Amino acid sequence: MTTMMERSASAPGHSAKRKPLIERLNIVTALALGTVSAVVVWQLALKFMPDNADTAFFFNREDKISLLSLIAWFIGFMVGIGALIGPFRWLLGKDLNHDENMFYAGKDQGIKRYFRYTTDHKVVGIQYLVVTIIIFFVGGVLAMLIRTNLGHAQGGWIQPQTYNAIVGWHGIIMIVATIIMITGPFGNFVMPIMIGARDMAFPRLNALSFWLIVAAIPPVFISFFTGGITTGWSAYNPLASQAGLGMNGYIAFICIFALSTMVAGANITTTVIRMRAKGMTWNRTPIFIYGVVASVALALPAFPVFFLSQIMSGLDRAFATSFYNTTGGGSGWLYENLFWIMGHPEVYVILIPAVAALMEMAPVFTRAPLFSFNIAVMGIGGICGLSILVWAHHMYISGWAPLLSAPFMITTELISIPTGMLFLVLIGTIWRGNLWMTMPLMSIFALLWNFMIGGITGIYLSDVPADAFLHGSMYVTAHFHYTLMGAGLTGALASLVFWFPKMTGRMFDKKLSWVAFWLVQIGFNVAFMGMFLVGLAGQPRRVESYAAMFSRGNLITTIGAYTIMAGMLVLLHGVIISWRSGIKAPMNPWQSKTLEWTVPNPVPLENFDVLPIVTGDPYHYGKAQS
């Protein structure tokens, strides 16, 4: 068969061997075009950008140049990866034909499809998985540098400014990694199959959301070498306005990442609403789907606000506007509000899919129905509803709105109720179940323990008088690590082991999964219990050195951190060797009842030969045939 691509390759003006453009673009061309664009714009700006006027409030010429260069990088990268081919062809009235769409889907391309703008949701899921692992590795290295420096009261191993930059860098990339760690790999690979769809509603947007994240990473890496993110991950203004050029990398990173999140949110939400299999009513939709949709639905209104906050920050830096500059009529409180309007829902963007994934696994490994599906859905809905009304509990001490402290305290404490519902569902499912002791099941116990500590310690921070004492201390750092890492990451690691057979066709090495689990969980609790101790004793966070009285607690934390490191490296080793040479996985190794386990390994390009019709709920373990 002569395809359209073959015809276009032999069209006049093309050499006979020349591949069509769509086949020539990949990550190499993207990196090359992005780099060339950035360097060209940088050099042109250096040459032609006028000097600052004497009255310029900020050192804005350098900011203009670096922001323009980062924008050029972004545009060049997206052009180089092929993201604009589809829209451009559509504008010309020559939308992609079937063969080209099949090429975009990665058909018959082997490993090359993972380095291209591939639209197949399974490829995107694997791409997300690998990128998430890489980001976690970098963030983990930074965490170890922090903990090594804090292993001794005087610090001093790393310069204070470099230390600040490491803390900021660690913070922001770990937040991003935890945001994408479930919805990225598993939401993309598993979710469409789980609802009985052939792909996402907007496959090109799916590829776009992934490659936007890849485009966002270099700016934040470069920022480290141009002054760093010395403000902590929150980048409060006006601190950020007067920080070095590294902040421009942060701004570019957040803006591009926010675009990715918005695109992914619209795509996933549409897919679940419109493309569920026939018969998959909302009561028969797996709870993991609820978790993923809740996560992206929360992100949809939250991340545009984050995006806007950074645009304004960039304008303050580059054009001497005064959104956040008090002396020019702006307000630092404006930034704090915008940031936390994103920042607190974002906690649940991370947590909900992790808990939902474990709720998905609980029936599988207990061979019991999910305890009260309706309570689980109500719990997720309740958290979503309340989570957009709690942001100012981060600002009690800022003096922004003292009269609103009490209402925000109440909404924050109320969120314990829907969170408790999720605990109830997990415990109720495990209760008297036939426990199949796997790493994912143990992760449920770990989550219950860690999230209980994270939740209870969070209640004290939501309480205005207690927060006045604890705010800005290591106690806060320990608390949010207990929630985001102790609960969120635990759910993600369990998801990795659980869905690994479907994603790779291989079983995850069982022993390595256990070794990694115990090292990480023991190390985690040692590390952050130690951090609670020094936080309660008054050690401030984000400091490079500290008083000798905090030495013991910090040493304990550092020892715990090294234990986590060992566990995570064992897990990484497990991923590599299991993926490469693990035991071949059967189609449904866990005897689960959701749809993703009804398709063979490797999963066919369009998932199902015939779209399934759902006739029952996915959790009827131990019940009479429904």
Partner 1 sequence: MNKRFFAALGTVILGAAVIAGIGTYVASAKNDSRVLAATAAGTMDTPQGNLPHYTLDISVYPDAMFGGHGTGGGHPDWVSYGPVTNFTVPAHSAITITVANYDGGETLNNDFFGKIRGTIGGTATLNGETISSVAPDHVGHTFTVHGIAGEQSELFFSVPMKAVAEEDMPEEGYTKTPNVTVFTVITGDEGEYVWNCEYPCGDGTIAKFGNAMSSMGYMSGHFNVVKA
Place of tokens 């219950």: 448
Q: Which is nearer to partner 1, 296 or 534 (CB)?
A: 534
Interaction of residue 540 with partner 1, rule CB under 8 A: no
CA dist list (Å): 56 to 47, 60, 66: 19, 7, 17
Near partner 1 by CB under 8 A, which window of 97-105, 124-132, 422-430, 542-550?
A: 542-550
Near partner 1 by CB under 8 A, which window of 31-39, 215-223, 420-428, 572-580?
A: 572-580
CB of 250 to partner 1, least distance (A): 16
CB of 27 to partner 1, least distance (A): 23
Q: Which is nearer to partner 1, 577 or 605 (CB)?
A: 577
CA dist list (Å): 565 to 131, 136, 205, 496: 19, 11, 35, 18
User: What would the x/- binding string for partner 1 be over residues 165 to 184, using CB under 8 A?
Assistant: -x------------------
- Integer-rounded Cα Rg, in Å, for the chain is 25
Among 5, 8, 27, 57, binds partner 1 (CB under 8 A): 57
Q: Which is nearer to partner 1, 10 or 159 (CB)?
A: 159
Q: Which is nearer to partner 1, 8 or 331 (CB)?
A: 331
Interaction of residue 352 with partner 1, rule CB under 8 A: no
3-state SS string for 265-291? HHHHHHHHHHCCCECCCHHHCCHHHHH
The two three-digit tokens of residue 343, written as one number: 């920042």
CB of 332 to partner 1, least distance (A): 10
Interaction of residue 439 with partner 1, rule CB under 8 A: no
Instruction: State whether residue 506 is helix, strand or coil.
Output: strand
Interaction of residue 154 with partner 1, rule CB under 8 A: yes
Among 6, 24, 156, 456, binds partner 1 (CB under 8 A): 156
**First-last CA distance in the chain:** 48
Backbone angles phi, psi at 562, to 5 degrees: -65, -30
CA dist list (Å): 91 to 85, 88, 94, 375, 513: 10, 5, 7, 47, 50
Q: Give Cβ neighbours of residue 15 (< 8 Å, ≥ 6 apart).
A: none
* Single-letter amino acid, residue 17: K
Near partner 1 by CB under 8 A, which window of 253-261, 305-313, 376-384, 573-581?
A: 573-581
Interaction of residue 282 with partner 1, rule CB under 8 A: no
Among 11, 548, 610, 624, binds partner 1 (CB under 8 A): 548
CB of 565 to partner 1, least distance (A): 7
Near partner 1 by CB under 8 A, which window of 7-15, 75-83, 204-212, 561-569?
A: 561-569
CB of 532 to partner 1, least distance (A): 21
The span from the CA of 54 to the CA of 71, in Å, is 27
Among 59, 88, 319, 469, binds partner 1 (CB under 8 A): 59
CA dist list (Å): 292 to 180, 265, 354: 11, 9, 9
CA dist list (Å): 603 to 188, 388, 580: 13, 38, 17
User: What would the x/- binding string for partner 1 be over residues 310 to 329, using CB under 8 A?
Assistant: ---------------xxx--
User: By CB under 8 A, what part of segment 206-265 binds partner 1?
Assistant: 227, 230, 238, 241-244
Among 569, 579, 586, 614, binds partner 1 (CB under 8 A): 569
Q: Which is nearer to partner 1, 91 or 576 (CB)?
A: 576
Report the greatest alpha carbon distance in the chain. Answer: 81
Q: Which is nearer to partner 1, 238 or 382 (CB)?
A: 238
Q: Which is nearer to partner 1, 5 or 572 (CB)?
A: 572
CB of 567 to partner 1, least distance (A): 9
Positive or negative CA dihedral for 333, 334, 335, 337?
positive
User: By CB under 8 A, what part of segment 368-427 binds partner 1?
Assistant: none
A 10 A CB-CB count for 48 gives 7
Total number of residues that touch partner 1 (CB under 8 A): 45
The span from the CA of 59 to the CA of 63, in Å, is 7
CB of 333 to partner 1, least distance (A): 15
Q: Which is nearer to partner 1, 162 or 270 (CB)?
A: 162
CB 169 within 8 A of CB 228: yes
CB of 504 to partner 1, least distance (A): 18
In this structure, what DSSP letter does residue 115 have?
A: G
Q: Which is nearer to partner 1, 82 or 582 (CB)?
A: 582
Among 33, 34, 58, 65, binds partner 1 (CB under 8 A): 58
Interaction of residue 493 with partner 1, rule CB under 8 A: no
User: By CB under 8 A, what part of segment 100-129 binds partner 1?
Assistant: none
Q: How far is CA 133 from the centre of its chain?
A: 11
The span from the CA of 462 to the CA of 392, in Å, is 10
Q: Give Cβ neighbours of residue 203 (< 8 Å, ≥ 6 apart).
A: 104, 105, 119, 120, 121
Helix (H) / strand (E) element for 339: namely helix 332-366
Near partner 1 by CB under 8 A, which window of 3-11, 142-150, 208-216, 595-603?
A: 142-150
What DSSP string runs through 61-112? HHHHHHHHHHHHHHHHHHHHHTTTHHHHHHHTT----HHHHHHHTTTT-GGG
The span from the CA of 56 to the CA of 292, in Å, is 46
User: What would the x/- binding string for partner 1 be over residues 495 to 534, using CB under 8 A?
Assistant: --------------x-xx--x-------------------
Residues forming the site for partner 1 (CB under 8 A): 56-59, 141, 144-145, 148, 153-154, 156-162, 166, 227, 230, 238, 241-244, 325-327, 509, 511-512, 515, 545-548, 565-566, 569-570, 572-574, 576-577
